[in-house]
Amino acid sequence: MAYTVIAEELREALAKDDLQTMEQLVADMQPADLAEFIQEHPVDINLKLLSCLPIKQRAETFGYFSENDQRELAEHMDESTLANLFIHMNSDERADLFNLLEEELKADLMRRLARNEREDLRRLSSYEEGTAGSIMTSDYVAVPAQSSVAQAFDIVRSTAPDAETIYDIYSIDHMGRLMGATSLREMILARTTARMDALMTTELISATVDTPQEEVAKLISRYDLLALPIIDNDARLVGIVTYDDAMDVAEQEATEDIHKGASVGRLDDGFGRARLRDLYRTRIVWLVLLVFGNIFSGMGIALFETTIAAHVALVFFLPLLIGSGGNAGAQASTLMVRGIATGDVGVSDWARLLGRELLVAGALGLTMALAVSPIGFWRGGEEIAFIVGTAMISVVVLGSLIGICLPFILNHLGWDPATASAPLVTTLIDAAGVILYFSIAAAVLDLPGLF
Amino acid sequence: MAYTVIAEELREALAKDDLQTMEQLVADMQPADLAEFIQEHPVDINLKLLSCLPIKQRAETFGYFSENDQRELAEHMDESTLANLFIHMNSDERADLFNLLEEELKADLMRRLARNEREDLRRLSSYEEGTAGSIMTSDYVAVPAQSSVAQAFDIVRSTAPDAETIYDIYSIDHMGRLMGATSLREMILARTTARMDALMTTELISATVDTPQEEVAKLISRYDLLALPIIDNDARLVGIVTYDDAMDVAEQEATEDIHKGASVGRLDDGFGRARLRDLYRTRIVWLVLLVFGNIFSGMGIALFETTIAAHVALVFFLPLLIGSGGNAGAQASTLMVRGIATGDVGVSDWARLLGRELLVAGALGLTMALAVSPIGFWRGGEEIAFIVGTAMISVVVLGSLIGICLPFILNHLGWDPATASAPLVTTLIDAAGVILYFSIAAAVLDLPGLF
């Protein structure tokens, strides 16, 4: 059933307090759908819905909820219900939930876990946010490298109910070091007497617990992996990150890049649910910084006060020229930043890309100059048409070059190239464009200029 | 081995024409790495590298190459080599390659396929680009719904070498209609005598051949699927889309959205490899459209020529004010567009988001007014400080509201909300900001205004 249909029926069942229908509907619902449904409802209703689910399914569904929803629900559960849920969750989601809770509650939950699970939780919850360690799960299947396929199958069968994926089977040595990996497909096709170490791939893609999560997502996407094994500093296998988590990370990173492209800072919640305070905080910093950037444009204008006073008509074309330069520059920087992010453009490409951009920007500027010159002619005759046309080409070329170079320069300085946002590039080009435009005007009109 | 190391060794082997080393290196290389390597090399070298690979691996690797590389290599292969490669490719990648070739070559390759493969290819290559049909593969595992687990295992084993994934097994009826799906994990845990229709999930997520590819990627990501079954209009199972293709689509769509956010049109190749002509074409349309938008700002300024002539100092603050409004508006529209794209923001949320934005923008405007008023005071005294402060709040609030509303309006008109790019929003706000600023100035300075 489509989500909208189920959601409607569930709303009706809630209104009638029809527990039986609720149980049926909730049992058939996809965890992602239930996670969306509970966002619209108050915590007491959501606790009731959750209690309709058998504990295993409840634990799985809980992991789909947003951090805020998880925290709120956990705070409103009685302790034994929470503990029961906690014990049944996947290791990685459990660690994430654990990090959201109050110290007192943490200690209590810890006590209720078996010893090996307790250590597992302590380890998983200790990794810094944004690293492979913080998103990996310890629910993977590992077998001794020297075991036979038949022995490995026994291990797979006994681990299957809890493992996040059983489709990649990792071979380890007696120290727990990662030796290789075998897909379940290969195991099914192999003779049961074959040895795993003969079957396994040793040219393995892996990452360490400290690898940044966006790097992990990129590896999984580039090499089409189902899961990426994560090793510690002694090359011991300590977890895996599965493709579905990589997809979430990739979406999150794309959102962050898109926001950065408009000078918006990191927002933990989605825009629709973010707190007003957070929205203010993520936006004000760059806005104020750019105010001071824009003051340079104003100062540029002040330098040409006599030029302007003599030809007020020049101001008419000011937004047009600096706007066009800013737009071309924003295009160039956006293409560049995304190219660097997807790996399509390398840092060594710098000179080649600059040369290409010079050609493209020249053509763009020429086209736009042809578009505006007639308006210049109409407003102020030949001279103005010439000034506006020349200024247009110069501003568009300059803007595009700033747009291409800035991400590279930032990258070189160790900054995120995405800091070269459209607003930053536009602001820089505004200031440069003002000087360029009025200098050309002063020269052509034979008025006192800067130089 | 890391890619950079292999690439270096492969370059050396190529320089020495050491075929044996080449073969060893290429055989161990990940397809994605080889695809990157060949981008830097001429076609004759790439053909040599490909011929080092056994045919099955060669066919797999070929699917990783970009469309341009595939087309170029195919054109330079002799016919029998190409046909051999073609026969060994996955069904979906074969259909993609097929669509890149000349009519004559197509006919020749068709003749070399077995009859059922020929029909499969004809069908797969017929779907419109951007639909589920165009990215799906027909290499899936389907079993009759009434078969036993043991029988299903036999089918899995016989299909395993060619299937894209064997981890989701689809149950179909005698008409080929999709009845349900069972994971290999469930099959492994079940008794071999159990029937598949008792084991399978019937609450299935699926899509039709016409479903847009971004919708397919969203379903796979939302429901954490390994593969999404694709059905035709008669509910018959005709293909699957696997998670790795969904990841590629998601990345591609994110790139498109990011480019749109800077008014850059659709670019088929990455920025680094795009043809100059395509770069020009994707950028010029909006640039010229925005030129005409910017003329409105100029006309706004022209309306206030007397105000400006009386107080040239007002021009000093013009870039600052319209720039700030544009930046705040670009932030708002970007947050909104991405919120709509990820499904975080619904169209029904309109009024609530507008209310929130009013509060946030008010606070942002106030902060920025406080930042610039002292400069206004320093440049022109109390009156100018007041004008600049008031104009700043108004422009930032107005800009933010335009930023929030525009994506909604576009969406409502059936356009892509991402058309509300930073440059478009900035241009609109520039025009509105000019009018607002000079109107406030004219009113305060008691000069003739518009109203």
B345·A32 Cβ contact <8 A: no
Q: Does B334 touch chain A (CB under 8 A)?
A: yes
**Same domain for B385 and B253:** no
- Give B76→chain A minimum CA distance, Å: 25
Query: Residue A205 pLDDT more than 90?
Result: yes
Cβ contacts of A315 on chain B, cutoff 8 Å? 301, 308, 315, 318
Q: Smallest Cα–Cα separation from A26: which of A16, A44, B101, A3?
A: A3
Pair B118, B205 in one domain: no
Determine whether the interchain pair A250/B246 forms a contact, defined as Cβ–Cβ distance below 8 Å: no
**CB spacing of B324 vs A294 below 8 angstroms:** yes
Q: Which pLDDT does position B399 carry in this prediction?
A: 95
Residue with tokens 């919640």: A269
Rounded to a whole number, what is the distance in angstroms from the first to the last CA of chain B? Answer: 73
For helices A115-124 and A103-112, give the axis angle rounded to 10 degrees: 140
What's the CATH code of the domain at B335? 1.10.357.20
Residue B132 lies in a domain: no
CA distance A29 to chain B (A): 8
Closest residue by Cα to residue A399 from A371, A368, A361, A367:
A361
Q: Do A301 and B319 touch (CB under 8 A)?
A: yes
Kindly state whether residues B300 and B353 are assigned to the same domain.
Answer: yes
CATH number at residue B241: 3.10.580.10
* Residue A311: domain span: 276-445
A427 interfaces chain B, CB cutoff of 8 Å: yes
Which of A273, A299, A422 faces B330 most closely, judged by CB atoms?
A: A422
Which candidate, B227, B252, B229, places its Cα nearest to that of B242?
A: B227
Do residues A197 and A146 make contact, with C-beta atoms less than 8 angstroms apart? yes
Q: What angle, 0 to 180 degrees and rounded to 10, lies between the N-to-C axes of helices B103-112 and B79-88?
A: 60
* Domain-terminating residue out of A257, A286, A314: A257
Among B263, B291, B318, residue whose Cα is nearest residue A330: B263
Residue B451 is predicted with a pLDDT of 56
Give pLDDT tens digits for A225-280.
999 999 999 999 999 999 999 999 999 999 999 999 888 888 877 787 888 899 99
Strand segments, DSSP code E, in A184-249 are 207-208, 227-231, 237-242
- For residue A217, what pLDDT is reported? 95
Closest CA to A341 of A263, A250, A276: A250
Mean pLDDT confidence for A60-69: 88
Model pLDDT for residues B267-290, shown as the tens digit of each residue: 877 787 888 899 999 999 999 988
B201 Rama sector, left if φ>0, alpha if ψ -120 to 50, beta otherwise? beta
Q: Is residue A134 part of a domain?
A: no
Task: Identify whether residues B385 and B311 lie together within a single domain.
Answer: yes
Do the Cβ atoms of A356 and B189 come within 8 Å? no
A17 is a domain residue: yes
Q: CA-CA distance, B162 to B60, in Å (whole number)?
A: 11
Whether the CB of A434 is below 8 Å from some CB of chain B: the reply is yes
Cα angle at A160 between A154 and A165, to 5 degrees? 120
- The answer to which of A224-233, A293-302, A437-446, B420-429 has the lowest mean pLDDT is A293-302
**Under 8 Å between Cβ of B226 and B165:** yes
Q: Is residue A36 part of a domain?
A: yes
Same domain flag for B300 and B431: yes
Residue A450 lies in a domain: no
- The C-alpha atoms of residue A15 and residue A23 are separated, in whole angstroms, by 14
Subunit contact B189:A427, Cβ cutoff 8 A: no
Residues 119-138 of B with CB under 8 A from A: none
Return the pLDDT at A162.
85
Instruction: Examine the domain organization and report whether B288 and B403 are in the same domain.
Output: yes
What is the spatial distance between Cα A393 and Cα A369, in angstroms, rounded to a whole number? 6
Give which of B203, B180, B224 is closest to A26, Cα–Cα.
B203
Q: In b/e form, how buried is each residue of B155-182, taking b as 16+ CB within 10 angstroms?
A: bbeebbeebbbbbbbbbbeeeeebbbbb
B contacts of A185 (beta carbons < 8 Å): 160, 166-167
**Structural domain count, chain A:** 3
Chain B contact probe: residue of A331, A375, A377, A434 with most B CBs at under 10 A: A331
What are the two backbone dihedrals, phi and then psi, of residue A239, each rounded to the nearest 5 degrees? 180, 175
Whether the CA torsion A416, A420, A423, A424 is positive or negative: it is: positive
The beta-carbon neighbor of B188 closest among A157, A263, A292 is A157
The two three-digit tokens of residue A174, written as one number: 């007696």
Answer whether B327 touches A (CB < 8 Å).
yes
At A38, the pLDDT band (50, 70, 90 cuts) reads confident
Residues B217 and B401: their CA atoms lie apart, in Å, by: 31
Mean per-residue pLDDT for B333-356? 87
* Across B374-384, average pLDDT: 86
Q: Do A110 and A197 share a domain, yes or no? A: no
Q: Between residues 155 and 174 of chain B, which touch chain A (CB distance below 8 Å)?
A: 156-157, 160-161, 166-167
Q: Rg of chain B over CA atoms, in angstroms?
A: 30
The HSE-up count of residue B162 (CA atoms within 13 Å, CB side) is 16
How many other C-beta atoms lie within 10 A of the C-beta of residue A208?
Answer: 14
- Per-residue confidence (pLDDT) for residue B73, from 0 to 100: 92
In a domain, B196, yes or no: yes
Are A178 and A29 within one domain? no
Model confidence at A386, in pLDDT bands (50, 70, 90)?
A: very high
SS3 A445: helix
**pLDDT of the residue at A449:** 63
Picking from A267, A248, A269, A252, the residue whose alpha carbon sits closest to that of residue A39 is A269
pLDDT band at B381 (very low <50, low <70, confident <90, very high): confident
Rounded to the nearest angstrom, the gap between the alpha carbon of residue A394 and the centroid of all alpha carbons in its chain is 36
pLDDT of residue B347: 75
pLDDT score recorded for residue B113? 87
Q: Do B279 and A360 touch (CB under 8 A)?
A: yes
Q: Does A271 lie at the interface with B, CB-CB under 8 angstroms?
A: yes
**Partner residue opposite A331 with nearest CB, options B264, B356, B368:** B264
Q: CB-based contacts of A58: which residues, under 8 Å, 6+ apart?
A: A50, A51, A85, A88
Interatomic CA distance for residues B262 and A413, integer angstroms = 24
| pLDDT, tens digit, 9 for 90 and up, residues B228-247 | 999 999 999 999 999 999 99
Is there a single domain that holds both residue A52 and residue A115?
yes
Residue A71, domain CATH? 1.25.60.10
Note the pLDDT of residue A196. 96
**Calpha distance A229→A337 (Å, rounded):** 29
Contacts of A369 (CB under 8 A, 6+ apart): A388, A389, A390, A392, A393
Rounded distance between C-alpha atoms, residue B250 and residue A342, angstroms = 12
What is the three-class DSSP state of A233? coil
Question: Is B342 found in the same domain as B436?
Answer: yes
Which letter does DSSP use for residue B160 in this model? T
Region B50-77: mean pLDDT is 89
Q: Using CB atoms, which residue from B326, B339, B430 is nearest to A271?
A: B339
Residue of B359, B364, B430 lying closest to A323 (CB–CB): B430
For residue A262, is it within any domain?
A: no
Q: How far apart are CA A97 and CA A263, in angstroms?
A: 31
Q: Is A346 on the interface with B (CB under 8 A)?
A: yes
B314-325: pLDDT as tens digits? 888 888 898 899
Domain C-terminal end among B257, B291, B324: B257
Cβ of A121: how many Cβ atoms within 10 Å?
20
Residue A138 has pLDDT above 70, yes or no: yes
Taking the Cβ of residue A235 and every Cβ of chain B, the question of whether any pair is shorter than 8 Å is answered with: no
Is A110 in the same domain as A186? no
- Taking CB atoms and an 8 Å limit, are A272 and B344 in contact across chains? yes
What is the distance between the alpha carbons of residues B149 and B147, in angstroms, rounded to a whole number?
Answer: 7
Both B234 and B304 in one domain: the answer is: no
Number of other residues whose CB lies within 10 A of the CB of residue A393: 18
The B residues from 33 to 92 touching A (CB cutoff 8 Å) are none
What's the average model confidence in pLDDT over A383-398? 94
Q: How far apart are CA B386 and CA B406, in angstroms?
A: 30
Point out the domain boundary residue: B72, B98, B126. Answer: B126
Task: Name the residue facing A302 among B316, B324, B364 (closest C-beta).
Answer: B316
A355 in a structural domain: yes
Q: Is residue B272 less than 8 Å (CB to CB) from chain A?
A: yes
Report residue A451's pLDDT band, with 50, 70 and 90 as the boundaries: low
Chain B (372-401) residues lying within 8 Å, Cβ to Cβ, of chain A: 372, 375, 396
pLDDT score, position B221: 93
Report the pLDDT averaged over residues A104-127.
Answer: 90
User: Which two structure tokens, joined as six digits, stand for A50?
Assistant: 């959750």
Q: What is the DSSP letter of B347?
A: G
Please write the tens of the pLDDT for every residue from B107-141.
Answer: 988 988 888 889 999 999 999 999 999 999 999 99
Cβ neighbourhood burial of A119 (10 Å; 0-12, 13-18, 19+) = exposed
pLDDT at A228: 97
